[in-house]
Structure 1
């Protein structure tokens, strides 16, 4: 499968829903990368707290799973704000 970096100007190549994007500034690309990195670090911490494998998709409890879901949602919404 071909992948496209989320900060690439070619990120629309495999997107069937949003048909037009504006070109992001370098600062916006950096913000988007920072937000995603923070989300990944937080999810990693959830696995650390629960003693679960970060490469796996299972967390130690429903509460940690909900925390991950909300973290993913927060990252998505922040990225949508940056890219709007």
Structure 2
């Protein structure tokens, strides 16, 4: 929740979510040899799981209400 709030406060969007370059390189050996994770799909699933808007990165009003954060929902 904190990262969603910080992102919203500073105007960051899901397009600006990044992982370290090392995680985006195919591994030279092992079970996942030569594979690179589908980061855009993974971010989309993460945002859906957290109930954040996939376009803006904002927490849904319903999620804030469910968490008892109505006062924050009114400020957004």
The reply to whether TM is greater than 0.5 is: no
Higher share in helix: 1
TM-score (normalised: structure 2): 0.30
TM, length-normalised to structure 1 = 0.28
Name the larger-Rg structure. Answer: 2
